[in-house]
Amino acid sequence: MNSTTSIVHVVDDDESYRTALQRLLKAAGYQTRAYASAGEFLITQRDSARGCVVLDLHMPGPNGLELQEALSIRGEKLPIIFISGYATVPVSVSAMKAGAVDFLTKPVEREVLLGAIEAAMTRAEEIRSTEETSRQYHGLTQREREVLAGVVEGKMNKTIAAELGIAERTVKAHRANVMQKLNANSVPELVQISGRLKNSVIPSNSSGAQSEIRPGASPA
């Protein structure tokens, strides 16, 4: 993972803690942006760079859970890692059910935090990849989608042709177009792409001692 192209958005009302987190993350190779409140984060324009949010739970004004909900309503899919000095089990469960990558307790161990961020960045890339594939899929014609559905179901070209009432050579032409438009080099790749999008757009035819981050202290 090229962390230099990934932004970690740190949202925490504790200035010393924000600074500590930023120092640690910059040392690990991440670009960072810091916000003192959920409101500041919401009104700040953000580019489309891959990234995630390290989010404090308890803050003046909208809290972390409310920010998570607001991002969901806005359709922003930045993966979230919650951090909190104190949280009940129901609260942490609620955050995870709403899609958080992790829920960490302050003081956060350095390697635990970096591991959670790595997982969040992986999820962010998966989201980006799925959205790109979705755009590509919506660029297919209706007939190309029908052929794709048959291919991923394992049907032979002649079977697809018979079901759709078209010539086999036409199926082959549509199949080639689908491969090109979806950037797939093989049928197994088409099946993988179909699997990623199945629930949204494609219809079917039928531990040791570690350093910690503490407010007011530079991370190790």
Q: What is the value of pTM for the model shown?
A: 0.72
Q: Are 147 and 214 in contact (CB under 8 A)?
A: no
All domains in the chain, ordered by first residue: 3-124 (3.40.50.2300), 138-197 (1.10.10.10)
CA-CA distance, 62 to 57, in Å (whole number)? 10
User: Which residues touch 192 (CB under 8 Å, ≥6 apart)?
Assistant: none
Please give the backbone phi and psi of residue 40, each rounded to the nearest 5 degrees, phi first. Answer: -60, -40
Longest dimension (CA), the chain: 72
Per-residue model confidence (pLDDT) at position 195? 82
Q: Tell me, what's the pLDDT at 1?
A: 44
Q: Kindly give the parts of the chain with pLDDT less than 50.
A: 1-4, 201-220
62 contacts: CB under 8 Å, gap ≥ 6: 37, 38, 39, 42, 70
8 A C-beta contact, residue 37 and residue 60: yes
* 159-190: pLDDT as tens digits: 999 999 999 999 999 999 999 999 999 999 99
